[in-house]
Chains A and B, each alone.
Chain A
Amino acid sequence: MTTTTVFFAALFYVATAILVLGLARKIYQYAKTPAPLKIPTTPAPTTKAGVIMRMGREVVLFESLFKSNKWIWIFGWLFHVGLAVVLFRHLRYFQYPVWDIVSFEFVQAAGKYASFAMVAGLIGLWARRFLVDRVRYITTLSDHLILLLLIGIGLTGMGMTFVSHTDVVGLKIFMLGLMRFEINPLPEDPLLMAHLALVATLMIIFPISKLLHAPGVFFSPSRNQVDDPREHRHLAPWATELEK
């Protein structure tokens, strides 16, 4: 067992724990904090089914962003959809046996080429941070670093797919081992190690960064509330106290 293997095994356990516990803590915090007033942004659905549809369109199609700015929408959507397809392809490194749908050749090929969409989207988003003076004004150092991190993940991944193949069989043995609490040797490919280190970094910063928009969008009262205040009374526990 090499030091590198032990290091990466430890890193992934720590990163996974931080990601899962950190997100769980935030989601618990969002869920337990009351939304004392009805504040859906109109025109808002008047039924629960309508709210689910609205949220679905927001999460899948980025509907509001489409209304606001086509460039951000194109780049943002390319990146997110590219990432989703790439991630789906990656399931095969964590499964035994692999789901049929993941192992389809079409899915695997799509997952490879989607990385181009993902990186192109990221580069577009980053370019806006330099080219548009309003966006430059609101950009912080961490905004740049997160883009750099994601592009790094994309490029190292593409390097292993399109330039210098890594030992995927060895990688899969390592990953499946981690999931069963066994430590198997990690192939010592610099590209792979860089990719994994960057991914672990992303997992670690997820619950303490703006990446919280992922769980946050589901808890946004202006999007997830039903527009029915005249039909149903809506009262937060702390507001109930005022009635006494």
Chain B
Amino acid sequence: MAGPTFETPKLLDDTATLPIPSVKPGAMQGVQSFIAGDKIQEQLGYPGELLPNWKERAIERMGELLQKYRGLQVFLDACVHCGACTDKCHYYLGTADPNNMPVARQELVRKVYRRYFTFAGKYFPKLVGAIDLTEEVLDQWYSYFYQCSECRRCSVYCPYGIDTAEITMAAREIMDSVGRGQKYSNEILGKLHRIGNNLGLPGPALEDTLAGLEEDILADTGVPVRLPIDQKGAEVLLVTPSADFFSEPHVESLIGYAKVFHAAGISWTLSSTASEAGNFGLFIGSYENMRKAALRIREAALELGVKRIVVGECGHAWRVAYSFWNTLIGVGAGAEDPFGKALQQQLDHRYKQPSHICEVTWDLIQKGAIKLDKSANDHRIVTFHDSCNVARASRMGDIPGGQFIIPREIIKASCNHFYDMAPETIYEGTFCCGGGGGLLTDDLMEVRVKGALPRMQALKQVVDDRKVNFMATICAICKAQFTKVLPYYGFPMSMVGGVHQLVSTAIQLGSNE
């Protein structure tokens, strides 16, 4: 396929951050992902094509969302255009298109909100910058709300915590509800509802893959590590991104989880109906779709009778699991419906429910239940990329910021050479990989490559100064995005991998048998 041509931005020497570009209006206006067809739309309960009365319906839907989401209402009112966010979005830094500045992206919706829902916008539209909803506006929405990875970096820096992700989600939900959906996200969500995972892998294909992996591990290590599926009565249900079953380097982390459970003697299982942790309902701002996607996991947990639910290396999946599962399906405490109550009784509340695989592994390392030989990773000089949904929208362990500490502690326990990237580009200030939030599609390659620029620049600095040759992440989208984008910037695609890939290399199997 002949992709669109564009110029890859140049990296500079001796700096972790690039200068802020001057605005280039309209630079990315024409860059759009493919629009979803009617079959894809209807599976999710949306109109198949743009409704004849789409304007009225869009305004009506905006009104409904304003009454359902306090964040949206407050965020649309509170912005003062101070400019604090203007240089915070990786897509602005990479493309210089001013509509990729968080405030301007929000204004695309806010201008319409003002026109139809505020006194000033109804009577003095020019004064406050209010505009009618037109096809041109809809087209802009479609361009720029699919150039946002919902990474929430702007919300860290906004004096009022205004979160563009919330506006992006609302805009996407409004567009979906009038029949203008995105092919990539909505098709994947449809596959999840239909088959049980984002890749559309049926049960037998999964079983085959897992059997093949078991053989590989045995050949590699001489230890019969199992990767069980649909095993009733297992202690742990592991839910992981389906990329872990097939893609490189993702599968290396899956092998890592299996080795951790094996070495610690914990019985575990995957589920053929709930193999997928990713939940694209989040990306399109659909509570109903997000809930429906999450319910499969509750059903599988009840059916298999597990005591713990553990989530693999997937950024937005961990956000949905950590922050929303308790709300959506009652994993945590306090559910009222019969299934939620039954799940509560079944789960072992001595453990965090749900747990991240990093919480599990770190706990086992601290207890001495697994042993790691750091020198096995001596060929790697490692840095860590904080994935945005983990960093800015979830947590691990017991203290604020545990999501930054725990993965780093696991890395340090697994290898001898670890160096962080520049402080302003990690932790809650981390730069997105550029492919999150429903952008991991080839039709948006230009957005992805340019959006990765700030991360690539910070990476270049540790590559130059520290000879870093491995960037660990705990997100399937980061892994997929980086393997594709790294070569554009002259880095080898193999330098990205999972935290549990490092664990997999260092772990001493059989030490606890």
Contacts and interface: CB of A to CB of B under 8 A. Distances in A.
Interface of A: 26, 29-30, 33-39, 41-46, 50, 58, 62, 64-65, 67-69, 72, 76, 125, 128, 132-135, 137-143, 145, 205, 208-210, 212-213, 216-217, 219-223, 227, 229-236, 238-239, 242-244
B327 A134 contact: no
Contact of A68 (B70, B79, B88, B128): B88
Interface stretch (B389-397, B431-439, B495-503): B389-397
A231 B79 contact: no
B192 interface: no
Looking at B161, B353, B391, the one whose CB has the most chain A CB atoms below 10 A away is B161
Contact of B78 (A35, A217, A231): A217
Contacts of B70: 30, 33-35, 219, 221
A236 B65 CA distance: 13
Given A42-B403, A43-B400, A219 B394 contact: no
A215 B84 CA distance: 19
Nearest to B166: A39
Nearest to A44: B400
Interface string B383-423: 00000000111110011110110000000000000000000
Interface of B: 20, 22-23, 25, 66-71, 73-75, 77-88, 98, 101, 103-104, 107, 118-120, 126-129, 152, 155-163, 166, 287-288, 291, 322-324, 326-327, 330, 332-337, 340, 352-354, 391-395, 398-401, 403-404, 427-429
Given A44-B400, A67-B156, A233-B332, A138 B101 contact: yes
Contact of A213 (B118, B120, B160, B394): B160
A242 B322 CA distance: 20
28 contacts: A30-B70, A30-B74, A36-B287, A36-B327, A37-B323, A42-B403, A45-B400, A50-B400, A58-B161, A64-B84, A64-B156, A64-B157, A68-B85, A72-B84, A76-B159, A133-B22, A138-B98, A138-B101, A138-B104, A138-B107, A141-B129, A209-B128, A216-B77, A217-B161, A220-B161, A220-B162, A227-B400, A242-B288
Contacts of A76: 82, 159
A138 B86 contact: yes
Nearest to A22: B119
Nearest to A231: B333
A26 B78 CA distance: 11
B291 to A, nearest CB: 6
A50 B74 CA distance: 22
B81 A42 contact: no
A36 B337 CA distance: 17
Given A36-B287, A141-B126, A233-B326, A64 B158 contact: yes
A33 B73 contact: yes
Nearest to B320: A37
A238 B327 CA distance: 12
A141 B334 contact: no
Nearest to A135: B83
